[in-house]
Chain A
Amino acid sequence: MIFVFALFLLTLLVITAVAIVRTENLFVAVMLTSIYSLLMAANFFILDAADVALTEAAVGAGVTTVIFLSALALTADREKHRAGRRPLILGTVSVLTMLIIYATFEHPRLGDPEAPVHQHVAPWYLEKTPEYIDIPNVVTAVLGSYRGYDTLGEVFVVFAACIGVLFILGVRRGDAATPRRERTAGLRHHLIPQLVGRMLVPFIVLFGLYVQFHGEYGPGGGFQAGAIIATGVILYALLEGEAAALKAIPRSVLLGLVVGGASLYGAVGVTCMVLGGEFLDYSVLSDDAVAGQQLGILVIEAGVGMAVCGALLSIFHAFAARESQA
């Protein structure tokens, strides 16, 4: 049954991908990318990767679409035709396709217990997590503790991406544009979306907090929670205007979240060293090694959530500020 469902979803994915490539209208392409992400999230979910599905749905289908649309508002929504080069592109794509199809011959069957990925460290993680960390969601244990270095790297990638976007799009200026922005901002004259949105925003943020602090027990964690909370605030910004959202959460707070989140993660690692352990070895954080691991994961997940939420909102505001100046 799951096989049929997966086949159906993957077929839809291929159709959507072809439609994205073929459409000339960039607005349609953005909407199709959003649908693609949602299908991908459903696909991850039926493969039992609930954490990844949650991220894909929140970031891919939610925040990215809004950021793409903000970018589209700055440019044209039609693709430019570029002459020539067609044979070269077709050639490259077909060679790559052949290579990928060739690579799948070596690929183990889905769910094959003999597959290399199930032979390496995964059994150890599954076996030892109850003993060392004692939380039900092994994904969170792997992400936060066993692979703490990788996650630290990811947080700094988010940090660097945010700084890069802010450098390119600029944060300053725009003070003069404030009154004009105020008047036309948001959906103030559309009563129905505004009322429903106002009703939903607190629950979206609450759900984000739940995902954040329930990450050890169910699917979720800092990345997903940061994206969900950012979605809630972006919804608020769309409804009430960007100025109102900036009044609620000023730019300085957003930057503080990004820098603070990344530093919090790093600080946990340094604290572990100060307390006599190794970098990001949370066992020394408490008298009981297991409690120390849980505390460490909780704090670094909070750091991840802060960094992701702050970065996504900063990028959104950077685009939106450009829009109101143009």
Chain B
Amino acid sequence: MIEQALDVLSWILLTVGGACVFIGGLGALRLRSFYARVHAASLTDTTAALLIFPGMMLQSGFTLASLKLLAIMIFLLLTGPTATYAIANAALSSGLKPDAKPMDTDSSESAT
């Protein structure tokens, strides 16, 4: 009974996490301004890591694999937002204004 409940919980976590990644990818492709794209990709990515890794840990149970997953999750939680900060900061210091009007696709691509 408890096993089944854990399985269901884990699949809910995995599905919601997957949906987060999908929405993030969609946002990174579809949003108009550079900072909005970075924002979309970053937040959903971190949320997805927080959802998918516990989901996988529930699948693998109380084993060494869970510990490794935890280590990878902590690594991603540290590096993901840092990378986002670095990208946004690089864009800012190369002169892209955050409050700029929505760009057309071409100029935002050359900025990335």
Closest residue of chain B to A203 (Cβ to Cβ) is B75
> Quick check: is B103 within 8 A (CB to CB) of the other chain?
no
Contact string against B for A residues 180-218, beta-carbon threshold 8 Å, 1 for contact and 0 otherwise? 000000000010110011011000000000000000000
8 Å CB interface, B75-112 against A: 75, 78-79, 82, 85-86, 89, 110
Q: Which residue of B lies closest to A207 (CB)?
A: B71
Number of B residues near A (Cβ < 8 Å) is 8
Q: How far is the CA of A299 from the CA of B45 in the complex (A)?
A: 42
A192 CA to B78 CA in the complex, in Å? 10
| Pair count A-B, CB < 8 A | 16
Bound-state Cα–Cα, A200 to B89, Å: 20
C-alpha gap A192/B83 in the complex (Å): 10
Q: Place the interface of chain A in its size category.
A: under 10
Question: Which chain B residues border A199 with CB–CB below 8 Å?
Answer: 78
User: Is B85 touching A193 in the complex (CB atoms < 8 A)?
Assistant: yes
Q: Are A200 and B79 in contact (CB under 8 A)?
A: yes
A72 → chain B closest CB, angstroms: 15
Taking a contact as CB atoms under 8 Å apart, the answer to whether B89 and A196 are in contact is no
Closest to B78 in A: A196
Where chain B touches its partner, the secondary structure class is helix
State the CA gap A25–B110 with chains docked (Å).
9
Chain A residues with CB under 8 A of B85: 192-193
Q: Contacts of A25 on B, CB cut-off 8 Å?
A: 110
Closest A residue to B86 by CB, please name it.
A193
Which residues of chain A are within 8 angstroms of B89 by Cβ–Cβ distance? 190
A199-239 contacts to B (CB < 8 Å): 199-200
CA distance A200 to B72 in the complex (A): 12
Q: Which residues of B contact A190 (CB under 8 A)?
A: 86, 89
A160 shortest CB reach to chain B, Å: 35
Q: Nearest residue in B to A195 (C-beta to C-beta)?
A: B82
CB distance from A50 to the nearest CB of B (A): 14
Min CB gap A218→B, angstroms: 11
Residues of A with C-beta under 8 A to B86: 190, 193
Name the residue on B nearest A197 (C-beta). Answer: B82
| Least Cβ–Cβ distance between A42 and chain B, in angstroms | 15
Distance of B2 from chain A, by nearest CB (Å): 28
* CB of A251, distance to nearest CB on chain B (Å): 28
| Cα distance A156–B78 in the bound complex, in angstroms | 38
Q: How far is the CB of B46 from chain A (nearest CB, A)?
A: 14
B54 to chain A, nearest CB (A): 21
Q: With A and B bound together, what is the CA distance between A200 and B79 in angstroms?
A: 9
Distance between Cα atoms of A74 and B53 in the complex (Å): 41
Q: How far is the CA of A153 from the CA of B79 in the complex (A)?
A: 37
Name B35-76 residues within 8 Å CB distance of A.
75
- List 13 additional A-B contacts (Cβ < 8 Å) besides A25-B110, A193-B85, A200-B75: A190-B86, A190-B89, A192-B82, A192-B85, A193-B82, A193-B86, A196-B78, A196-B79, A196-B82, A197-B82, A199-B78, A200-B78, A200-B79
Chain B residues close to A by CB (< 8 Å): 75, 78-79, 82, 85-86, 89, 110
User: Could you name 13 residue pairs across A and B whose Cβ atoms are closer than 8 Å?
Assistant: A25-B110, A190-B86, A190-B89, A192-B82, A192-B85, A193-B86, A196-B78, A196-B79, A196-B82, A197-B82, A199-B78, A200-B75, A200-B78
- In the A-B complex, the 5 residue pairs with the smallest Cβ-Cβ separation, listed nearest first, are A196-B82, A192-B85, A196-B78, A193-B86, A193-B82
